[in-house]
């Protein structure tokens, strides 16, 4: 068997540990998810009777994260011969090692129904022995306790239970810091990694991080150095992440909004309004795709009859969306419009569906620029990792300018 291993030395202790909890915080680009996926593929092939459960807060986000990462590890490690060793069921998101029938399954903990399903998980052979919680800061402590309780009972000699948490450490007030980092526990191994220790990162990414260090020193502490973030200077605090009914009929009206991007994210959101409050129902957040590709990805996810508010700086893209059948219109910009949009958002409660994980990440770290000499915050937002925030700003165009000025119809404008 010829296996290609892509390893960074900084993960050796975590990969070799038999402790129950492996808690890995790190910067963006540190390689912690790539290493975790490769680690589990090797472990499941070597140890008979082990099975892996991959967890995200919203189960649908597993497809583009843990499932994609594990598939990528298999393809990279075994090349065209991968089918000799692994069975991949893409429709049901199931992976199975052909030699010993160890399996990988994927679940969410978005609501009580999904949490209840965790209690009835069974495997073809062996027990649930391993759990990978990706983007662990998305889940609550009660979610974690339910997952942790699933790993119990006698195991064959030499085997052990293990949960691995991987995440960017957004807030110093998060329960993960309190439970795993602020006290000593013999069952816990904590680990920190940064992009600087990832030998597979390209030079352009290093330059990108240096740009972030210049424009957003506080954000760089989190996404560049993997340090715990502080809440000072946050722009929006009036939001809640919760499951809610996303049927269009329950809202006063709905709109789509889009911030165009390529090297930075192109973000589309479906936003409902009810009694003056905003409800972000779904998002599409994607990098390095041209407009035609994004239009294809949006098909079936966003209602075409709704007005889609877009960045006015991209008139050609707006034309392409119109040609595709969407009611795309430019947001009117004038001096002070960004601050006016922010002021409106700050005055109205924002409900974010848990499946909108990229918006959640952005809103948790969207801050005012800070003067490093005085420590004071300015009235200008940090111009970094704010694509979903631009989408939210565009979505309130009708509300901000006044409904009476706009011709309306059921469901949109």
pLDDT tens across 178-208, in order? 999 999 999 999 999 999 999 999 999 999 8
Quote the mean pLDDT of the chain. Answer: 90
With bands split at pLDDT 50, 70 and 90, how would you rate the model's confidence at 231? low
Q: What is the pLDDT of residues 7-42, one digit of tens each?
A: 899 999 999 999 999 999 999 899 999 999 999 999
pLDDT at 409: 36
CATH 3.30.420.280 range(s) for the chain read: 239-405
pLDDT at 17: 97
CATH level 2 (architecture), domain 9-213: 3-Layer(aba) Sandwich (3.40)
Distance CA 104, CA 399 (A): 46
pLDDT at 171: 76
Class of the domain covering 239-405: alpha beta
Q: What is the pLDDT of residues 380-391, one digit of tens each?
A: 898 888 999 999
Q: What is the pLDDT of residues 328-347, one digit of tens each?
A: 999 988 888 898 999 999 98
pLDDT at 266: 95
Is residue 200 a contact partner of residue 33, using CB atoms and an 8 Å limit? Answer: no
CATH 3.40.50.300 range(s) for the chain read: 9-213
Q: What is the pLDDT of residues 157-180, one digit of tens each?
A: 889 999 999 998 877 878 999 999
Please give the share of the chain, as a percent, with pLDDT higher than 70.
96
């Amino acid at each position: 068997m010829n296996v290609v291993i892509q390893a960074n030395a900084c993960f050796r202790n975590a990969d070799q540990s038999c402790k129950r909890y492996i808690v890995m915080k790190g910067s963006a680009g540190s390689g912690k998810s790539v290493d975790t996926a490769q680690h589990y593929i090797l472990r499941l092939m070597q140890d008979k009777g082990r099975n892996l459960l991959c967890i995200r807060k919203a189960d649908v986000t597993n497809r583009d994260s843990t499932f994609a990462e594990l598939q990528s590890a298999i393809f990279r490690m075994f090349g065209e011969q991968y089918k000799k060793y692994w069975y991949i069921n893409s429709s049901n998101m199931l992976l199975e090692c052909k030699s010993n029938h160890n399996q990988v399954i994927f679940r969410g903990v978005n609501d009580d129904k999904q949490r209840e399903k965790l209690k009835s998980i069974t495997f073809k052979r062996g027990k649930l022995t391993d759990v990978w919680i990706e983007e662990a800061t998305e889940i609550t402590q009660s979610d974690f306790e339910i997952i942790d309780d699933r790993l119990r009972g006698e195991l064959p000699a030499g085997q052990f239970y293990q949960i691995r948490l991987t995440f960017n450490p957004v807030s110093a007030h998060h329960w993960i810091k309190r439970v795993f980092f602020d006290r000593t526990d013999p069952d816990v191994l904590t680990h920190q990694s940064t992009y600087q220790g990832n030998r597979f990162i390209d030079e352009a990414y290093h330059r990108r991080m240096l740009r972030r260090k210049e424009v957003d020193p506080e954000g760089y502490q989190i996404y560049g150095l993997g340090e715990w973030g502080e809440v000072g200077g946050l722009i929006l605090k009036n939001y809640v992440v919760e499951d809610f009914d996303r049927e269009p009929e329950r809202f006063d009206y709905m709109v789509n909004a889009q911030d165009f991007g390529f090297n930075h994210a192109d973000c589309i959101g479906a936003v409902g309004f009810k009694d003056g409050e905003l409800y972000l129902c779904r998002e599409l957040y994607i990098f390095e795709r041209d407009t035609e590709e994004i239009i294809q990805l949006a098909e079936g996810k966003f209602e075409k009859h709704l007005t889609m508010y877009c960045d006015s700086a991209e008139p050609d893209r707006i034309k392409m969306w119109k040609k595709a059948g969407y009611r795309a219109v430019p947001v009117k910009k004038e001096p002070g419009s960004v601050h006016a949009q922010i002021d409106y958002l700050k005055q109205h409660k924002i409900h974010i569906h848990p499946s909108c994980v990229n918006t959640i990440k952005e809103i948790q770290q969207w801050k005012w620029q800070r003067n490093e000499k005085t420590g004071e915050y300015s009235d200008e937002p940090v111009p970094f990792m704010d694509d979903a925030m631009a989408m939210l700003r565009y979505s309130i165009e009708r509300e901000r300018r006044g409904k009476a000025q706009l011709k309306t119809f059921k469901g949109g404008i």
